[in-house]
């Protein structure tokens, strides 16, 4: 995700200092005109805005607050825009620490996966002070087609968790429907064409049903990352005493796929959970 987002910032004429653990990404970004740093601390010492795009809560805490982290070199007035999808409570925890040093933060997770990151058409849900959002909205729009301020710090990640619930349950429902069609010896492709224009139609259906029928499970968004997001959903909901039975059910399906070595496949591989228990394979 980070590399195509950086490329879109470069195309928008922003000057970039980047740090990444992947040598091939670093080389590609350097060839595209980015300055290379060795640590988050070095990045923070050279820029006005730090954008982080990391796998999970611990990674963001380490990069911002850990050894050689952003906080060690951050000057008052620095802005951190965290575009990772993490636990909202961690966003608030980090902000509580950095605010004391005069550093502002937006939590701005994205939806759309790698294809939308490449196109620059991500959807971004942003939490933080409205005046900070207003100042940096155009920067974020260099990577996105929809950018919405949803509330104070942490609200961006709450919005992303809501998004991930709906995506996960939609994919699961789609998989059940395609399995029913296949088991009934009715063409899943024709079923898809018949229902996509009605109330059952959705962005998820249009994005994922063709991939399932073509048996294309290369990751746009990996099962293991969706598990991470649903873990954050359930942790947040349990803290509030809120039951989310559909989310919990899909989480267990994804855990089953992870246990069977499919964690790096696209989340539309949920259909394989149903294929195994129904003893049928969805295709054209």
- Residues serving a catalytic function are 160
Own/partner contacts of 211-217, CB < 8 Å, gap of 24 or more, are: 211/266, 211/268, 212/174, 212/175, 212/178, 212/188, 212/268, 212/271, 212/282, 213/178, 213/188, 213/189, 213/282, 213/283, 213/284, 214/284, 215/283, 216/266, 217/262, 217/265, 217/266, 217/268, 217/269, 217/272
Q: What is residue 173's three-state secondary structure? A: helix
Do the Cβ atoms of 282 and 272 come closer than 8 Å?
no
Q: What is the DSSP letter of 254?
A: H
3-state secondary structure of 128: coil
**Cα 248-205-203 angle, rounded to 5 deg:** 100
d(CA 55, CA 60): 8
The Cα–Cα gap between 6 and 29 comes to 8
């Amino acid at each position: 995700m980070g590399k195509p987002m950086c490329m879109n910032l470069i195309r928008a004429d922003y000057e970039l200092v980047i740090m990444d653990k992947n040598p091939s990404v670093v080389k590609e970004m350097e060839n595209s005109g980015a300055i290379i740093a060795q640590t988050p601390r070095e990045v923070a010492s050279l820029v006005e805005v730090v954008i982080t795009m990391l796998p999970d809560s611990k990674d963001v805490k380490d990069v911002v607050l850990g050894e050689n982290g952003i906080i060690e070199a951050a000057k008052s007035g620095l802005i951190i825009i965290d575009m990772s999808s993490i636990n909202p409570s961690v966003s608030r925890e980090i902000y509580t620490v950095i605010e004391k040093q005069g550093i502002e933060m937006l939590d701005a997770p994205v939806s759309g996966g790698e294809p939308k990151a490449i196109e620059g058409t991500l959807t971004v849900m942003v939490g933080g002070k409205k005046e900070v959002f207003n100042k940096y909205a155009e920067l974020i729009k260099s990577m996105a087609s929809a950018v919405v301020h949803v509330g104070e710090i942490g609200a961006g990640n709450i919005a992303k968790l809501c998004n991930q619930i709906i995506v996960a349950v939609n994919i699961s429902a789609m998989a059940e429907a395609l399995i029913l069609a296949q088991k009934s010896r009715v063409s899943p492709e024709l079923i898809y064409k018949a229902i996509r224009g009605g109330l059952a139609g959705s962005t998820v259906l249009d994005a994922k049903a063709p991939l399932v029928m073509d048996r294309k499970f290369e990751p746009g968004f990996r099962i293991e990352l969706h598990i991470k997001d649903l873990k954050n959903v359930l942790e947040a909901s349990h803290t509030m005493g809120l039951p989310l039975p559909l989310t919990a059910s899909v989480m267990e399906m994804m855990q089953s796929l992870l246990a069977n070595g499919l964690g790096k496949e696209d989340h539309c591989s949920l259909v394989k959970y149903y294929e195994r228990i129904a003893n049928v394979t969805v295709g054209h």
